[in-house]
Structure 1
Amino acid sequence: MSDAAVSPAVNEDEAALATPFVKCLVRLIRALAFCSWEGKSDAELLGDFIITRKQRRAIPIIGDPDPDVLWRLDMFYTAVGLAIEERSGLMTSPMMEMKTHGGFGRLLFTVGQLSFCPDVHRFGFDKFRQLAEAGTKLVDDATAATEAYRDVARA
């Protein structure tokens, strides 16, 4: 395989890994597991967040999430809360409500951002770019809501 064929995907991954949201997620993971993942690259740390379509199809449509999936979900939305906090200067934390039977979940951030998670047991992204885009969109939307309703957010 030539370098030209690999280069666009590698560059796309590097760009995604350099986004502020993904950097926040990596910092969070490294902070919580400081010794066990020492020496691993950011891509290796986030590898469990990548679930290809083929892998997703192999998971039953209805099912209960295993502890690893719940951990990834928690890390992702905690990183969203931290990124919102970094940008807005307001303390933010996710509040999760999980209906584990059937794999449905709902998350609410204290700044008023609501996110639904169907198929929680299949939580993951096809590519690092999608991980970065999803997290960045949640942070952007919550930050915009915080700016639009600054007095409510500060209450």
Structure 2
Amino acid sequence: MKIIPFEDRLAPVFGRLNRDWLDHFSLREAADDRHLDAPRESIIARNGQIFFAVEGDDVLGTCAAIPHGNGVFEMAKLAVAPSARGKGIGRQLARAAIDYARGAGAQKVVLESNHKLAMALALYESMGFVHAPLPADLSYVTADVYMELAL
């Protein structure tokens, strides 16, 4: 298994993997679709990056690093295929996004999530993210958890 950066051919897989878990938890909204429908325009063209865990021709997971300016990146759209969960792939993808943000000069990585995603929240906590008050300008209506990682 290896972690690779965005390629246009993988854009549909980025959308599918994320729609699957968002729909499963009834969390998908317009802000998600903006990234999932046009990841090159909404993430890559803004100097962000999307990483993919691949094994042969199989895409096992994905995670994005989205710049927000002022030394802040958002880690978003972390998704691992059900058949690949429990193997540390989410951690490797999250690490790739954090390392990308650090390399781009970020001082902080933030994320918005939901309390329903207990396994993801435990992963973020184990990586050093800390809970912080919800900002007034949340990107996602369904977000009720906000976390930060100082770099």
Q: Which TM-score applies when normalising by structure 2?
A: 0.29
RCO higher in structure (CA 8 A, sep ≥6):
1
Q: Give 1 or 2: higher helix fraction.
A: 1
Could you say which structure has the larger radius of gyration? 1
Q: Give 1 or 2: higher strand fraction.
A: 2
